[in-house]
Amino acid sequence: MAEPAPGVGHTDSMNSHDDPDKLADGKKKKSRRPANTAFRQQRLKAWQPILTPKTVLPLFFAIGIIFAPIGGLLIWASSTVQELQIDYSTCNTDAPNATAFGDTTDFNMADSLITSAFKSDTKVNAQWRHELVNHTYHGDYVVQNVSKCVISFILPDDMEAPVLFYYRLTNFYQNHRRYVSSYYDKQLLGDDVNTESSVSDSSCTPLTVDSDRGNLPYYPCGLIANSMFNDTFFSPVYTTDNNTPYVLQNSSNIAWSSDNELYGNLPDTQDLSKILPPPNWQKQYPNNSYTESAPPPNLKDNQAFQVWMRTAGLPTFSKLYARNDTATMKSGTYQIEILSEFPVTEYQGTKSIVFTTKSVIGGKNPFLGIAYVVVGGICIVLGAIFTVTHLIRPRKLGDHTYLSWNKVSNNAKPGSSGPSVGMSTGRDLA
């Protein structure tokens, strides 16, 4: 049998080794190998800085020099905000039941219920009392025995405009998963959604329709709307100057303009007999129903409702109720009346009123400034430590003796030529 010529008979085998993606019969085989491009093979140009003492140390000092003064300015800006917070959670039970203030100490509020921050650092004293009154809703509907809390407080310093008035709640979890999704966006936009099926199938669950009243849908439905903060605040009266009211406005400029676009009013053709107020709202309406004289609120114009519907991320939060952007709230004695109807003791929470000003960074909160100062201080301290270490025991850049596999094992006996860490790990020593 004749021998094949040299190289003949090995051609296919050699070709198959030269091109691993080609089979012996010349066909292309499928491959998961990425394309041979710089991007797919991770060969793109990149900048890899070499961290040396000359580059790292100035960076530490630069961060410290920049951050520390910024933090100081933020703390100073926060300190310029004047604020008065009064907790009236237990006014209905702890405050004296009286129609006027007296000279006894029974009316004095506990110091623990008052938190203040003013330029003069003067302690703020306050008194409270409560009484049951008849209050008129919607012009002609009278509700009897509404609890009214009256608080008298002394403002030690002037509060320059704008003066913001908040209510503050604690231990109220608006961020609960079921609570935060319980609303119907189409209904809030003013669509004619008064049928049982449309509201029942909405995300307002579990508060959609009233099964005891013919499955009539609630407007607005859902847990958020039903639990809306319903204490009523009246503008404080400046008793130092002939009971002059310090007017607080809450009809505009308290909600975000972006939130206002999410709401609309009901059409004029809406049949009010086909919708019901939420359970916690029904006390304010005759026969617990909407009527022509007591219609549902215009959600497009009700900014207090819009503020409440923007749920808070933490269980302790403040929501803007009213403001005065023009007049200074002068120092002296003020008296404010509150229709206290929102329950908080049932869930171990509290409610407070807050009068405050603002600075260029917003309200009173020194946390951001403290964080900047702490970070800046840490960077300066670390920079100083590293600088001293570098000056006393400098390390040669690129010295291979610092590599772990070039160091003798700690278990090796002095003077012995035992194996090093590099040998135990299979690395070759240089």
pLDDT digits (tens, 9 = 90+) for 184-241: 999 999 886 777 778 888 889 899 999 888 889 999 999 999 999 999 999 999 999 8
Predicted pLDDT at 356:
96
H or E segment to which residue 163 belongs: strand 163-170
H or E segment to which residue 87 belongs: strand 83-87
**Is 105 within 8 Å of 71 (Cβ atoms)?**
no
Alpha helices in 80-116 (DSSP H): 91-94
Rounded to an integer, what distance in angstroms lies between the CA atom of residue 97 and that of residue 130?
Answer: 5
Residue with tokens 């936009």: 189
Predicted pLDDT at 394:
86
∠ CA 312-254-179 to the nearest 5 degrees? 25
Rounded to an integer, what distance in angstroms lies between the CA atom of residue 306 and that of residue 302?
Answer: 7
What would the two tokens of residue 61 be?
């000092």
**Is 357 within 8 Å of 162 (Cβ atoms)?**
yes
> Which residues does 209 contact at the CB level (< 8 Å), separation at least 6?
196, 199, 200, 215, 216, 217, 218, 221
Locate the domains of the chain by residue range.
52-81+362-392, 82-182+222-264+299-358
Task: Say yes or no to pLDDT of 25 above 70.
Answer: no
Predicted pLDDT at 37:
92
H or E segment to which residue 129 belongs: strand 126-137
Mean pLDDT of all residues belonging to the chain:
87
Task: Say yes or no to pLDDT of 280 above 70.
Answer: yes
Return the SS3 of 430.
Answer: coil
Alpha helices in 322-407 (DSSP H): 367-392
pTM of this structure: 0.79
Question: For 234-256, what is each residue's pLDDT tens digit?
Answer: 999 999 989 999 999 988 899 99
415 bridge partner residues: none
Angle, nearest 10°, between helix axes 53-79 and 367-392?
Answer: 160
Average pLDDT over residues 320-348: 95
Predicted pLDDT at 171:
97
**Is 1 within 8 Å of 9 (Cβ atoms)?**
no
Which pLDDT band, with edges at 50, 70 and 90, does 48 fall under?
A: confident
Average pLDDT over residues 378-399: 90
> Which residues does 31 contact at the CB level (< 8 Å), separation at least 6?
21
